[in-house]
Amino acid sequence: EEDKVNKMVELNKFKTLSNGFKIPQLGLGTFRVQDESLVPLVKEAVKIGYRHIDTAEYYQNHKYIGQALTELSQEGFNREELFITTKVWVFRKEPQQLKDFVKEALEELQLEYIDLFLLHWPFSWEKQEDGSVKIKLIPLAESWKAMEELVDEGLVKSIGLSNFNTQITLDLLSYARIKPVINQIETNPSIAQTRFVSFFEEMGVHSTAYAPLGAPYHEIAGRNLTDNELIVEMAKKYGKTSAQILLNWGLTRGTSVIPRTTKIERLTENFESLGFTLSEEDIEKINSLDTGVRAFDPAKNPKWHHCPIFN
């Protein structure tokens, strides 16, 4: 049993970020898991070989991850081996709010530092008295300076972005004292963003893929790529599952992937997507599924004020 676990751990590949830190390419996404069922899920993931856990303020699950990490630590797991990512939500971009958020997150996660701290979206909101929200204009330079200070203080190791476009990122790179190392984006075969991913890589910004299997749970533009005919056909050819084909595609192109699951049995299946190689010809076939259509697009969502950030 222990040998099997060691072999699984060795499967995990790492990408070296522009600041020298290494990110495990396969991580566990925790979006929409907001209760104590997350505790055994995270513990089992780490025991299988996952070393990268992705969370966010919006997911409201820091405390369950913290409980899992504390129990793992008591069982002898080394915190230094883990890579924990969190993101701040759109209401807390003022410098002091960012600092307060990180201190709260550290308390809930029961950690002394966060490996990667991201701005979840490139805009800010403020709540109105009637409960509605409106856009709040906060200079990115001010938010970023506060994030750099969190690195200086040792509370955060790396800082980065999520859902940012090229223009705003190039502007940020022009003045950032500490550069963003990652942009976490929606990408899978149906929204491949191939040039975007390679351009960011040239700029020293690694891409982490959220929704790497599609987003069947999304109420507006959800799609389940695991049922796609071509993917099902590939799964049969390689003797793998559809999810393993999709994740392997994401890993092969060099992105990190953070599939979410609520099922403990899926953890091993997803992790084993590291253990085989798709042929170049089959990768090209999978690339043909690209429609450029996003599930997570504020412009389509009335709750998000139809904010057209990708247009």
Strand extents, DSSP E, 50-202: 52-54, 83-88, 114-119, 124-127, 133-136, 156-162, 182-186
Asked whether residue 4 carries a pLDDT value surpassing 60, the answer given is: no
| 141-115-66 Cα angle (round to 5) | 120
| 178-182-184 Cα angle (round to 5) | 140
Catalytic site includes residue 59: yes
The answer to whether residues 270 and 240 touch, using CB atoms and an 8 Å cutoff, is: no
CA separation for the pair 308, 311 (Å, rounded): 5
Q: For 217-241, how does the pLDDT look when each residue is reduced to its tens digit (9 = 90+)?
A: 555 455 689 999 999 999 999 999 9
Nearest to 12 by CA among 50, 58, 59: 50
The 10 Å Cβ neighbour count of residue 31 is 17
Strand extents, DSSP E, the chain: 14-16, 22-24, 28-29, 52-54, 83-88, 114-119, 124-127, 133-136, 156-162, 182-186, 206-210, 256-257
Can you state the percent helix, strand and coil of the chain, rounding each to 5? 45, 20, 40
The 10 Å Cβ neighbour count of residue 263 is 9
C-alpha distance across the termini of the chain, in Å: 51
Q: For 76-96, how does the pLDDT look when each residue is reduced to its tens digit (9 = 90+)?
A: 999 999 999 999 998 889 999
Average pLDDT rounded to a whole number, residues 254-277? 93
Phi and psi torsions of 29, nearest 5°: -85, 145
Asked whether residue 19 carries a pLDDT value surpassing 90, the answer given is: yes
Average pLDDT rounded to a whole number, residues 123-127? 89
Q: What is the pTM for the complete model shown?
A: 0.94
CA separation for the pair 93, 54 (Å, rounded): 20
CA separation for the pair 268, 49 (Å, rounded): 9
From the candidates 50, 58, 59, 64, which is the catalytic residue?
59
- pLDDT band for 7, please (50, 70, 90 cuts): low
